[in-house]
């Protein structure tokens, strides 16, 4: 049965519940993975999503920060949640669909301002988080799986507005890109967005600080949708919904989507 999956860093699921509902109405993905819910699980407005047919939810949450949720029209059962790097943060949750596909929803640490773990503890935590993800995938190679989320790294030169100007900016430093690539390789993950849209600039995040984010267009592709090789051939129709960044009181991230014919 074919299905569509979406991922979106919502930057507060309670404040932006109306935007989530609008996306669900307009795009009708079968599954929507959210990051930065910034809410305890019991305070997520799940009834509003259930009213639109999203009757299944798997989530991990905490007060104020982080938090991930999987909303689904399709039945989905819990398939674990990891606390990589031992941060005690709600940054991962996994679910399994009835067709046997496992969905991983990740929110990788942002990493702070200075790309040096000797002076910035958060940068070290980001690298450690990616290393632990890598080791987990090496230990148990994923099959029939999809990995989505805000990975907080824009790996390619075409994934940022200026490769040269961002080389020393957290999210695009060579050490982060190397950690991401090792983790991707450990799970044999295929970047579905780039499989479908191989060429050209592609962003999923634009800073709130720009006077006119659309005109400046200084974006980065921080949000990713990957799949294992056994199902990557079934993926198609990848999109990044740039126009959603222009909605009233938007998240600074745009939703990323793909469909699978399985």
Flag whether 159 is marked binding.
no
Which residues from 101-130 bind DNA, rule CB under 7 A?
A: 109-113, 122
C-alpha dist (Å) from residue 133 to 60, 87, 113, 136, 172: 17, 13, 22, 5, 19
Out of 30, 150, 159, 223, the active site residue is 150
- Catalytic residue flag (residue 150): yes
42 in Cβ contact with 52 (< 8 Å): no
Flag whether 11 is marked binding.
no
Residue with tokens 């994923």: 142
- Rounded Cα distance between 177 and 169, Å, is 12
Nearer to DNA, 3 or 129 (CB): 129
C-alpha dist (Å) from residue 130 to 84, 175, 178, 182: 8, 11, 10, 9
Return the H-helix or E-strand segment holding 149: strand 145-150
At closest approach, how far in Å is the CB of 198 from DNA?
Answer: 23
What are 73's two structure tokens? 């029209």
List 69's β-bridge partners, or say none: 34, 59
Number of Cβ within a 10 Å radius of residue 62: 16
Q: Pick one of 171, 173, 204, 259: the residue that binds DNA (CB under 7 A).
A: 171
Residues in the chain, overall count: 262
Nearer to DNA, 89 or 194 (CB): 89
- Rounded Cα distance between 201 and 196, Å, is 13
Flag whether 9 is marked binding.
yes
At closest approach, how far in Å is the CB of 137 from DNA?
Answer: 22
Nearest-CA neighbor of 83 among 72, 75, 91, 71? 91
Q: Pick one of 150, 239, 255, 259: the residue that binds DNA (CB under 7 A).
A: 150
At closest approach, how far in Å is the CB of 155 from DNA?
Answer: 12
At closest approach, how far in Å is the CB of 166 from DNA?
Answer: 8
What are 77's two structure tokens? 């059962």
Is residue 149 near DNA by the rule CB under 7 A?
Answer: no
- Candidates 9-17, 45-53, 136-144, 190-198: pick the segment binding DNA (CB under 7 A): 9-17
Judging by beta carbons within 10 Å of its beta carbon (0-12, 13-18, 19+), is residue 234 exposed, middle or buried?
A: middle
Flag whether 132 is marked binding.
no
Q: At 158, is the secondary structure helix, strand, or coil? A: helix
**Binding string, residues 10-29; x marks residues near DNA by CB under 7 A:** -xx-xx--------------
At closest approach, how far in Å is the CB of 143 from DNA?
Answer: 29
Flag whether 152 is marked binding.
yes
Is residue 209 near DNA by the rule CB under 7 A?
Answer: yes
Which residues from 47-66 bind DNA, rule CB under 7 A?
A: 63-65
Which residue ranges make up the site for DNA (CB under 7 A)?
9, 11-12, 14-15, 36, 38-39, 63-65, 109-113, 122, 150, 152, 165, 169-171, 205, 207-211, 216, 218, 220, 222, 249, 252-253
* Binding site listing for Mg(2+): 9, 36, 150, 152, 252-253
Active centre residues (catalytic):
107, 150, 253
């Amino acid at each position: 049965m074919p299905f569509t999956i979406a991922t979106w860093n919502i930057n507060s699921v309670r404040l932006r519940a109306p935007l989530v509902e609008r996306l669900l109405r307009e795009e009708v993905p079968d599954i929507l993975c959210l990051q930065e819910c910034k809410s305890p699980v019991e305070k997520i407005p799940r009834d509003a999503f259930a009213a639109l047919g999203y009757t299944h939810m798997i989530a991990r949450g905490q007060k104020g920060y982080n938090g991930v949720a999987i909303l689904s029209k399709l039945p989905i059962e819990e398939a674990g949640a990891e606390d990589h790097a031992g941060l005690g943060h709600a940054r991962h949750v996994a679910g399994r669909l009835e067709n046997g596909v496992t969905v991983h929803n990740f929110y990788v640490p942002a990493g702070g301002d200075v790309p040096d773990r000797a002076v910035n503890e958060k940068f070290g935590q980001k690298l450690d988080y990616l290393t632990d993800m890598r080791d987990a995938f090496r230990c148990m190679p994923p099959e029939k799986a999809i990995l989505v989320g805000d990975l907080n790294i824009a790996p390619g030169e075409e994934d940022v507005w200026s490769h040269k100007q961002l080389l020393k900016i957290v999210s695009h430093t060579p050490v982060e890109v190397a950690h991401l690539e090792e983790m991707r390789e450990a799970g044999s993950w295929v970047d579905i967005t780039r499989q479908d849209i191989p060429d050209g600039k592609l962003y999923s995040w634009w800073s709130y600080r720009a006077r006119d984010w659309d005109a400046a267009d200084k974006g980065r592709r921080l949000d990713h949708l990957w799949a294992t090789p056994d199902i990557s051939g079934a993926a198609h129709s990848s999109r990044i919904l740039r126009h959603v960044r222009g909605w009233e009181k938007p998240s600074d991230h745009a939703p990323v989507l793909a469909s699978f014919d399985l």
